[in-house]
């Protein structure tokens, strides 16, 4: 039986260049889907999976992200006085216990692998999750919870996986699939951003991981690879090479790549249409806007 996963690392030190100029002053993770910052979706998913220790790997200029998790007593008092209990509840649901979040700095954006390595002293000798907040997953049972449940049976390292179109494979880490057991596959290898036409499968890794502490040790030994960055994929691939178990997990749910503008817009539309308070008005707008566009063509 695998040890319970209670710590999660949130690497949020990237520069978010695809959202310039907004990301000059707003961390990407604070951009909102409807009215909730991307990071809130990730935190809620982590909490549902039983995570109690949240480790943020941040960088210069990410103050808004740290401030977001502070309590705002004046605002709470004002809402209480005004009897706005519904808003008070929304605010309270975002409150974090004091000391639940730790921040470490990545002094230079050297890649995702390096960002995770920066958290090594806070993890110790236990399995831990890594969550990339720009991958937002709409799912009945939150994705990390699905993974934690599957991991209890497999142990080792596990990555969230989904099928992608062959011409998109070079944008992802791709699994070389060994045994395919439905939602679970054993990984025979893993390659980050394979050159077009060389991907070992079309099963891509997306931003949810459960990793063993050995991966942290591997991270201290890897060299820059794809994009000149220190890649988490390479440290996980070392586990496979050492004969230790790495599984891909096909999660149930819809993943949105909110690190890209198109993915962010798709998520905005999907999440707005899922909201009872917005779906009628927004749905009507979308239908009209689409009809007008088709008429104009
Ligand atoms: P991305 O590849 O999306 O990079 O990183 P980015 O800097 O956030 O965005 P673009 O490509 O410039 O628009 C994936 C995740 O890894 C983190 C990012 O914050 C994001 O959550 N990351 C990446 C780091 O924390 N440090 C790094 O050095 C690189």
260-264 contact pairs (CB < 8 A, 24+): 260/18, 261/18, 261/19, 264/19, 264/31, 264/33
Determine which residue's CA is closest to atom 1 belonging to ligand 1.
14
Calculate how far, in angstroms, residue 80's C-alpha sits from the geometric centre of ligand 1: 39
Q: Which of 39, 229, 259, 262 to mutate to test the pocket of ligand 1 (most atoms within 8 A of CB)?
A: 259
- Is 63 among the domain residues? yes
Per-chain mean pLDDT for the chain: 94
Question: 113 with 229: CB under 8 angstroms?
Answer: yes
In a domain, 170, yes or no: yes
Closest CA to 136 of 265, 255, 271, 10: 255
Distance from residue 85's CA to the centre of ligand 1 (Å): 37
Residue 270 lies in a domain: no
Q: Is residue 235 part of a domain?
A: yes
156 lines ligand 1 (CB under 6 A): no
Write the CATH number for 199.
3.90.550.10
Which tens digit of pLDDT belongs to each residue from 144-172? 999 999 999 999 999 999 999 999 999 99
Which residue's alpha carbon is nearest to atom 2 within ligand 1?
A: 14
Q: 159 CB under 6 A from ligand 1?
A: no
Q: Quote the number of domains for the chain.
A: 1
Note whether residue 199 is domain-resident: yes
Cis peptide bond N-terminal to 21, omega within 30: yes
Is the CB–ligand 1 distance for residue 30 below 6 Å?
Answer: no
- Asked, for residue 13, whether it belongs to a domain, the answer is yes
The answer to whether 104 and 53 are in contact (CB under 8 A) is no
* Rama region for 85: left / alpha / beta (φ>0; ψ in -120 to 50; rest): alpha
Instruction: Dump pLDDT digits (tens) for 173-199.
Output: 999 999 998 899 999 999 989 999 899
40 falls within a domain: yes
| pLDDT tens per residue across span 244-284 | 999 999 999 999 999 999 999 999 999 999 999 999 999 99
| 20 lies in some domain | yes
Query: Domain range holding 51?
Result: 7-259
């Amino acid at each position: 039986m695998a040890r319970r996963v209670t710590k999660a690392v949130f690497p949020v030190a990237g520069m978010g260049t695809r959202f310039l100029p907004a990301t000059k002053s707003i961390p990407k993770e604070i951009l909102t889907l409807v009215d909730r910052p991307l990071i809130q979706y990730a935190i809620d998913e982590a909490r549902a999976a039983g995570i109690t220790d949240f480790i943020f790997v941040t960088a210069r200029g990410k103050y808004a992200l740290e401030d977001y998790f502070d309590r705002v007593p004046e605002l709470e008092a004002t809402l209480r006085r005004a009897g706005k209990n519904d808003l008070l509840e929304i605010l309270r649901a975002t409150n974090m216990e004091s000391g639940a979040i730790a921040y470490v700095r990545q002094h230079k954006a050297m890649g995702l692998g390096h960002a995770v390595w920066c958290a090594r002293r806070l993890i110790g000798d236990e399995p831990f999750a890594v969550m990339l907040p720009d991958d937002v997953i709409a799912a009945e049972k939150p994705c990390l919870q699905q993974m934690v449940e599957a991991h209890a049976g497999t142990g080792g390292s596990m990555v969230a996986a989904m099928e992608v179109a062959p011409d998109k494979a070079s944008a992802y880490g791709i699994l070389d699939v060994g045994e395919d057991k439905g939602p679970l596959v054993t990984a025979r290898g893993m390659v980050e951003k394979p050159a077009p036409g060389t991907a070992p499968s079309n099963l891509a890794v997306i931003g949810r991981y459960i990793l063993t502490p050995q991966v942290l040790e591997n991270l201290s030994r890897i060299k820059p690879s794809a994009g000149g960055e220190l890649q988490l994929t390479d440290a996980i691939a070392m586990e496979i090479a050492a004969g230790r178990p790495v599984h891909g997990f096909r999660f149930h749910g819809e993943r949105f790549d909110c690190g890209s503008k198109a993915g962010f817009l798709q998520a905005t539309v999907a999440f707005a249409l899922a909201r009872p308070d917005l779906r009628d008005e927004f749905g009507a707008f979308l239908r009209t806007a689409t009809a007008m566009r088709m008429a104009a063509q």
